[in-house]
Amino acid sequence: MSNIYKAFENKKAFIPFVTCGDPSLEVTKEIIKAMALSGADLIELGIPFSDPTAEGPVIQEANIRALSGGVTTDKIFDMVKEIRKDVKIPMVFMTYANVVYSYGMEKFMTNAKEAGMDGIILPDVPYEEKEEFASVASKYGLDMISLIAPTSHERVKMIASSAEGFVYCVSSLGVTGVRSEITTDIGKMVELVKAAKDIPAAVGFGISTPEQAKKMAAYADGVIVGSAIVKIIAKYGKECVPYVAEYVKSMKEAITQ
Partner 1 sequence: MENSLNSKGRFGIHGGQYIPETLMNAVIELEEAYNKYKDDPLFNKELTDLYNNYAGRPSRLYYAEHMTKDLGGAKVYLKREDLNHTGSHKINNVLGQCLLAKRMGKTRVIAETGAGQHGVATATVAALMGLECEVFMGEEDTKRQALNVYRMKLLGAKVHPVSSGTGTLKDAVSETMREWTNRIDDTHYVLGSVMGPHPFPTIVRDFQAVISREIKSQMLEAEGKLPDVVMACVGGGSNAIGAFYHFIEDKSVRLIGCEAAGRGIDTKETAATINTGREGIFHGMKSYFCQDEYGQIAPVYSISAGLDYPGIGPEHAWLYDTKRAEYVAVTDDEAVDAFEYLSRTEGIIPAIESAHAVAHALKIVKDIPKDQIVVINISGRGDKDVAAIARYRGEDIYE
Judged by the rule CB under 8 A, the positions of this chain that interact with partner 1 are: 49-51, 53-54, 56-57, 60, 67, 72-74, 97-103, 105, 123-132, 136, 147-153, 155, 159, 170, 173-175
Give the nearest distance from C-beta 48 to partner 1 in angstroms: 8
Give the nearest distance from C-beta 140 to partner 1 in angstroms: 15
SS3 content of the chain, % helix, strand, coil (to 5): 50, 15, 35
Q: Nearer to partner 1 by C-beta: 38 or 176?
A: 176
- The sign of the CA dihedral 187, 257, 204, 211 is positive
> Cis bond leading into 16, ω under 30°?
no
Q: Nearer to partner 1 by C-beta: 93 or 103?
A: 103
Give the nearest distance from C-beta 91 to partner 1 in angstroms: 20
Q: Nearer to partner 1 by C-beta: 39 or 200?
A: 200
Pick from 144, 163, 166: nearest CA to 155: 163
Give the nearest distance from C-beta 162 to partner 1 in angstroms: 10
Pick from 113, 98, 104: nearest CA to 52: 98
Rg (CA), the chain: 16
Q: Nearer to partner 1 by C-beta: 40 or 145?
A: 145
Give the nearest distance from C-beta 129 to partner 1 in angstroms: 5
Q: Which residues are CB-neighbours of 183 under 8 A, at least 6 positions away?
A: 172
Q: Nearer to partner 1 by C-beta: 34 or 134?
A: 134
